Structure 1
Amino acid sequence: MTSRIVFFHQNFCSNSTVLRTWTACQSCSISAFISCPSGFRRSPGTSTKDCKYYIRTYTLKIPINGCSFECYKEEELKTCCPGFWGPDCIECPEEAARPCSSRGVCSDGLGGNGTCTCQVGFAGTACEDCEANRYGPSCSSVCSCVHGLCAAGVKGDGRCTCFSGYGGASCDKELPECASLSCQQNSRCMEEALTGRLVCRCLPGYQQTAAQCVSVNPCLQQVCHVHATCVHSGPDQHLCACNHGYSGDGRVCMAVDPCQNKHGGCSTESTRCLILATLPVPLSLVSLSWLSNLVCGLQSPCPHLSCAVRLLLVLTRSPVHLVLSLTCPNPHLS
């Protein structure tokens, strides 16, 4: 039998339920001596004389009035608190108090997978942004740029930055006079909003530095999650990728629980996968005495193993978690 114990995730809640059953109908003279099924207790004041039991003869089945009583048992079912998911009850994207940025529904509970189903218009691991070509706090507005780039996203206002030779609020107005205007590299011909005259300005994704238009690097502005790597992929373009040990879209990165994925690589027949801690420092800086105190302070699922042996059974290490695999014969697991 396999079981999992997580010592440092305190996100479990309990739901109590009451199971009820009735004893078999018996003669009222002996009914008081009939016991409830194992684990059940007799419900006070629930005896009834309305039942019937039968006596069989060779040819007859004779009904006789009898007595029965109700039995009950309280069961406490362990489950994840709202906003937590999986066997280890990990926090949903963003945070349990406002999962999915309050813009979607998290697949929570013991059987959940922690993914967000976003409301219409929203996207991202934690529904933190708008779908492509949408903008505004509610992501309900749709960009209208025909020949240009839209200021999209939750913080965007939908304004269009037109490509060279186009103007107008939606970049749908051709500017044929631009053909006679020679603009420098990485710049474009555009119409000034106030004067209507044609001028050269840097292309979208570039900014004026001295006499040149230089590519903007958004990675300098910490646009990705703290546990993600930002790659400058073009003028004002970037890619966010979660670091090893984390998952997400790069703007939201969540620590991967090694025990959630295929039992942490441990045998499901004879092993418990335990997350001992989220490491505050790299594993190389963790002292042997700290590790020893942590491991040996746990209640061992394998009573016959000494502390020293348990310490040697630390198998899997990641930048985020310290994972302990305890292996012992099946009868020792509960």
Structure 2
Amino acid sequence: MRSRFWLLLCLLLIGCPGETSDIPLVDAGTDPGAPSDPGTPNDSGALTDPGKPNDPGQLDPGPELPLTDTGTLDTESVDSTEDVSEVTELDAINEVTDDGGPIGCIPGTGCFLDLCENNAQCQSGVCLTHMGDRVCSKLCIDECPTGWNCVEIDTGSGDGLFACVSDLSHLCLPCHDSSGCSTTVNINICVDYGNIGSFCGASCEDDSDCPEGFLCDEATSAQGDTSQQCVRVDEECVCSSTATNFGLSTPCAVENFYGRCDGQRTCASNGLSDCDASVPEEDVCNGLDDDCDGTTDETIDVVGNDNNAGCHADASCFANADGANCVCHSGFAGDGLDCLDVDECIEGLADCDENATCTNTPGSFECACNQGYSGDGQTCTDINECLEGTDTCSEHALCTNTAGSYDCTCNSGYSGDGESCGDENECSNGHMNASPSTEALTLTTADGVSIHAELRFPGGPGPHPAVLLVHQFTQSLGQWDPYLESLHALGLATLTIDLRGHGNSDPYIGNFFDMLTDPNAAPLDAQAAIEHLQNDARIDNAFVGMVGTSIGANLCYVAMEGAGSIVRVGVALSPRDVPILSMLDVPEPDGLSFGSIYCIAGENDSLGLQAATCVDFQPLCAAPNPITIIPETGDHGSALITNHPSVWPDVLNHLENHLLDSWIPNVGHDCHHYATCTNTPGSFSCACDPGYDGDGVSCDDIDECDLNTDNCSDNASCTNTMGSFSCACDPGYDGDGVSCDDLDECDLDT
């Protein structure tokens, strides 16, 4: 046996496919000197040019590994007094079994195929690249295991040493092209595996040349070349430690019916990332290349039909600062997705002679002189039937004399043919006089639970602002039925849900009371509801609020933690800090922040801490963040609403002032929410509802208590509410607030 010595084998770096040349095939040792030129190997052990790291489009190659001169021994790792020429046989560490494993070597001590980072960790003194990982090699005379070659290494003293070098050094490494996959021994290519990416192959003649899980097959490179290569079957290549350390990447694509979008997958600590390409979608007018074919806002869809980029037939797609949008053609009005012809005749936009008939045409109009007149329609000679009283115009129309006849035009606020003119009801064009509609929904949470919900609209044109209502523990969405009408009166759509384990939703798996603090239970139910409001085109998701009692109050804080949801304003009745923190999976509120939340609690709630929670969390909430502590009451949750008449009007007032303050309803009149629209012939009028004061367009609540216009007893307290007031007998008195009788505490023994 030849005496054991530590050998530093330094071969030329093999360039990573399309990215970096800094992945060493063999450990370069620890020589502190400057590395030799990696592109000019000086011994037969160098394998390939390291690639072109400076080529355009390649990734940053990352940190370089320390190198000694290529093909020479590291003098710090080899005993200079040892006569290398006296090595006459290989050490026993290089003997292997039939399957290539070491004989007489304890795995993990630097044996053949053990993982390594440098030469010093290997008993052979040689650490090199095999299938993308750094492993210990073995010294050789002229034979190596299958898939390895015995290569002479220049020791620097003129004596040649031989070590086994892998044919599969780069197999399965992510690559962009073939430049970094080959060695001087084997011509490998960057194999195209389709949309999942490209990975280095290994040249082969038959399946016996390939490791387990690979077949020798004709493969096509990312550049279109073909050759016999070891290719992965059944499973895709995974990231080796080398690929992860260098952050190697491969091109990839996402492809579907609409097209193909290119992207990249990168090796990281958690493995090969998913493809970061966009999902192709049908190209619409938005200034984006939705189907990734290199063009934007295409008018021809994927099957060859003209869809006008999603715009209406009477519209075109135009670029703007935000990308692009559909714009109706001249003579049409709308949002570009829907375009209606503008009737220039009715709108008074035509320049016809007053004695001519105006005829609307798609996108334009025509003028023609009436019978008995001559001219081009813009100028006509006149016979005045109107003065003679022979016309048949409506009393709500204007009679215009024409030559030999007359023309009737409906007055403003009326529509018709002039002989028959009907009043236009501006009030019916808004939500104030429309009936709500209800939809039963089944929402699926992120963990697959089915949640029963009801979505109700106030009627009229949308999109509508909305409020999510979450009931308290052990109740159901029916808790909110008495309050929906007042919310609809504000123009709000309402979404009520049954939390899991409640009402008609799926049951809660586990201890029922655990869901009060389970971050994977009720918070997921609320999240599913919020996402529905966000994605429903009938909802104006810039104006979404949330109201909750008990556990629903806790969810207001969870939903608005970090102000990360679309919920703009929250109202929490009887929240508790421990469930909030448990649902957020944090021990203390330090570092937390919430959106705008109006917190309400009873001072002496039997469950305790609700009022304290409002006070403690208030500094963490964005303004406006008022709190209301109802004194001397043990009520909590929905009881705060039912037993304290001022609470619900305060809730409505908060929603109106902070959720709907800048919302503009899509209605045909400008009457206030708390006003009644009355249609009049050719127009309409607005009048504030009882309990409000203003011109009908603007209505303010009348504080009957402050103005002393209430009818409360002298022995009662007056509380102002939205549009009204409430009376409550003072302590020591009994009655309905309007009439209060003294309680005889002595007789009652109280």
Give the TM bin, normalised by the shorter chain.
Answer: 0.3 to 0.5
Q: TM-score if structure 1 supplies the norm length? A: 0.40
Q: TM-score if structure 2 supplies the norm length? A: 0.21
Bigger strand fraction: 1
Structure with more relative contact order (C-alpha pairs < 8 Å, separation 6 or more): 1
